[in-house]
Structures are given as structure tokens and as C-alpha cells.
Amino acid sequence: MTSFVGSAGSARPVRPADTLTRDALAVLQPGFTGTTAPDWLLRRLGEGLVSVGLFGRNIEDPAQLAALTARLRRERPDLLVAVDEEGGDVTRLEVRGGSSFPGNHALGAVDDTALTRAVARELGRRLAACGVNLNWAPSADVNSNPDNPVIGVRSFGADPQLVARHTAAYVEGLQSAGVAACTKHFPGHGDTAVDSHHDLPRITADLATLQERELVPFRAAIAAGTRAVMSAHILLPALDGAHPATLSPAALHGLLRAPVAAGGLGFDGLIVTDGMEMRAIAATYGIERGSVLAVAAGADAICVGGGLADEDTVLRLRDALVRAVRDGELPEQRLADAAARARALARRPGGPGATEGVTPAPDIGLTAARRALRRTPGDGHRYPPLTAPAYVAAFTPLANIAVGDETPWGVGAELARLLPGTETATRTAESAAAAGTAALIGGLLTAAAGRRIVAVVRDLHRHPWMAEALTALLAARPDTAVVEMGIPGAAPRGALHLATHGAARVCGQAAAEALTGRWPGERA
């Protein structure tokens, strides 16, 4: 029975509580802890929850993941099971061992859209086989700011047209395997020097620049049929000086959703928020208030659970949305429309059955990583292949939160597989500051004990301490090989310089092959 609430003379209809509650649950994409489904989550699925987000903490191996998603679907067959699986540095399927796929920057370096499509298709096949049907990928950000601390190698590159064609190819490949793509981070996170996990970034570009740079890949993704788009927690005064894009009607409704004829992008799929627990939102608005504002602005799904993964969070957000409708702050039709979009995507075919007819390509990731490797011989220093155990000095920056600090990276493990006895030692900004550069390098040389040294860096151009340490090492041992596993923004140095364009496990394998003379040769 429909009830009426409101001030005298302005009664407005509000649907029954159960309907509002189900709609509020339907727009949430929560996470949880553990590798089995908790009872509270199963209960909420029965009450209207239509999406679940998975993270590295939920995944042990493909068999366990498939069993988990099957258990969830026994409770609700039309379920969106989402995961943040970009490949490359950001992996959840292989969080403990490193990804079998290079990331976007490596694919952009090769610039072969057929290869990008094939990589995304194989990644999608593996996700679908495990019961995942929504991937919070690809990143369509144009990495126009080389000091960007959160995007970097997650981007295909700094050229909008290159990013656009590979974003489209990635969307096509992923969705051809039955997994919906969620292109991110709208309207573009590439021109930031602040990580929105920590604070609210501000992009000062004017509308003309946004149209010519940031929005180009999103138009390509929409043309390629991306099922979802993820918003960014970034402030763009050219669009909205008061609200970050996730909470901005001007960004979500006025730009992303509006028809092309009216100057918009004409997107009619699911709009998903970036994680609402990120400080850009949580520290300014709080997750409850932020979630209400996001749905009111045009978002259809609230992503939460990267850091907040419990029943209390789900109930708080559910109740905040219901209360906002009853208080007249959130139009009930807006909530109903958002819930309908989430349910519609959940009903699309996907999951294990979608992999029929998709030919496995188990080696495509390594093939791509090898093709992305760029080798620069040293100036005046011959570098014969390694044939004996080496000493790997890994200059390690603070982990990007999106990547996480539990995923291994580097070349040490792959070199040790080829040359048993190879040793890896990690150097950080903290250890450099504590010891001083001279002592740090002195200790490294003593530990190396005459073995050939491989220095592994990541985004050397962004870390002065790392550049200072590498300069001192090369002065003492000019025969050192340097492997750059981030953005190769600094000039090549060392007897041999390898740029992998990412830190996935297969990127480390390709570099190890090159260092030991097993590299199949120069590739385009």
C-alpha cells in the first residue's frame, strides 16, 4: 500500500518500505572479508542486494573463486560479481603471485589493438570461468601528468587517440568473453598529482581541454559498447566547482548521461562510483552522505568494500538511502531507476557459460610482455648475458593503494628461477634516509660481493631518493643493468637499460629473459 508523507498541502507518494529497502540494497556493490560467503551477505542477497565486489582478500585460486561465486548464485542467480582486475600492477586473481597479463601501459607501448583485444579476451575468459561477470576495468585515463601517483602504468599512455583505440579494443575483448567492462575513471584521472585514496584531486583543465583529451577515450569506450562506467573522485571546476565528479549532476547527468546532440556522451549503461571509502569522499562527506549525493547526481551503483567490508556498512548505506527518499532529499524515481539499471545488467548472460566458444590463449600475456620490453644498450659498457647468480637491488617506492603492497613485483624471482642463487635486496626511501646514500650503496656493494648487479626501479623520474641512489650505484659499478618497471620517464642509464612498462609477473619474466640472453629479440 502506498503511503503519503510531507508537510501539509504538499503530500507526496512514497512506495512501501520493502520496495525502498530492496532498491537501496540493489544500488550497493559491497565487499566482504574471507574466502567464503558470510551469512549476513547471503541474507542480504535474499533481501534485494544484486551486486558483490571481490578483492584479493577473497581469492585464493580459481577453484576456490568459482566455488564462492557459485555459492553466491545459489542465493541469487541474477547477481553481479565484480572484481578490480586490470591485469598488470592491479590484480586480484593473482594478488599473491603477480599477474599473467601486462597492464595497460605495456599494451599501449606495443600499440597493437588486436593484441590488446586478445589479452582482454583471455582475461575475461578466466574471469568468466570463475563466475565473475563485471570487471572494474579498463582504465581509460590519459596519463598526461607524468607525476601522477595513482594512474601511471595503469594508463595506456599520454596520447588521447592511442588511449582511445586501446580502451575500445579492451572493452570489446573483455565483453566478448561474457564479462561486462566498467571503463574508468570518468571524466579522467590522468592529470592529477594527488591520489584520491588520500585526498581530493583538483584538475584545472578547461572544458575544451577535457573534450580534446580526457573525454576522447570515454567516447571510444561508449561507442565500443562498455556496459558500465566508473566515476572519479576528482574536482573539475570547469564542470562543477563545488562537487567532485562522483557527486556532480553536471558531470554524471549533464555530461556522461546527456545525449550527444546536447553536448553529452550519451551513455545509457550503469554508472558505478569509485570506492566511497576513499578519503576524497569519506573524509569530506562521509560515506552515507556521499552515497546519497552520488545517487542523486546520477550514479547507479555505489562501490564500497575495499576498506569497509562488513554488514554494518551495508546497513548504514541502505538506511541512508531510504531515509533520503523519505526526507525528500533523493527522488524515489532516481533510486528506482538506478536499481533497475543494476538489476538489468545482472540479468545479462555471463559467468562460466559465457566462455563457450572462447578459445583459451594461455600464453598471450607473456607474449604481450615480451613485445612491450624495450632494450637500450649502455653507452660504452658491454653487457654480456648473465650466466651466474646475480645480485638484484630493488629500489622500492611506497605502494600505490590501488596496487596494494602484497602483490610481488620485480625481476628477482624470475631471475632466480633461471639462475638459482640469485639474491634480491630491497631498498626504500626510509632506508635511504636512515643510512644515507653513500652508506646505502656501500652496503649494497659489500652484499653483492663481486656479483653482477641488476638495479630495479619503478617510476625513477618521480623519486629523487631513488635517482640519487642509482647515480651513486652506477658511479661505483657502471656495469650495472637497470630495469625500469614503471613509466620510463627518466633517460636510460647503465650498461643495459630495460623498460618493461609495468611490474606484472610476466613483465619481470620478460626482463629476466633479456638479462640472461633468452630474449627472443627486438619486437615492434
Q: What are the residue numbers of the active site?
A: 197, 274
Write the DSSP symbol of residue 202: B
Helix 39-47, helix 62-75: angle, nearest 10: 40
CA distances from 300 to 67, 247, 340 (A): 28, 12, 9
Q: How many CB atoms lie within 10 A of CB 443?
A: 14
Long-range contacts of 2-6 (CB under 8 A, 24+ apart): 5/326, 6/328
In which residue are the cell numbers 638495479 written?
Answer: 455
CA distance 96 to 107: 23
* Rg of the Cα atoms in the chain: 24
Write the DSSP symbol of residue 90: B
**CA nearest 55: which of 252, 231, 277?**
277
The answer to whether 190 touches 236, Cβ cutoff 8 Å, is: no
Before 187, cis peptide (omega within 30)?
yes
CA distance 147 to 193: 6
CA distance 291 to 286: 8
DSSP lists the bridge partners of residue 272 as: 230, 301
Buried b (16+ CB within 10 A) or exposed e, 338-360: bbebbbebbebebbbebbeebee
- Could you please report the per-residue DSSP string of 393-452? EEE-PPPPTTT-SSS--SSHHHHHHHSTT-EEEEE-HHHHHHH-HHHHHHHHHHHHTT--
In which residue are the cell numbers 600505490 written?
Answer: 400
Q: HEC string of 30-69?
A: ECCCCCCCCHHHHHHHHHCCCEEEECHHHCCCHHHHHHHH
H or E element at residue 212: helix 207-212
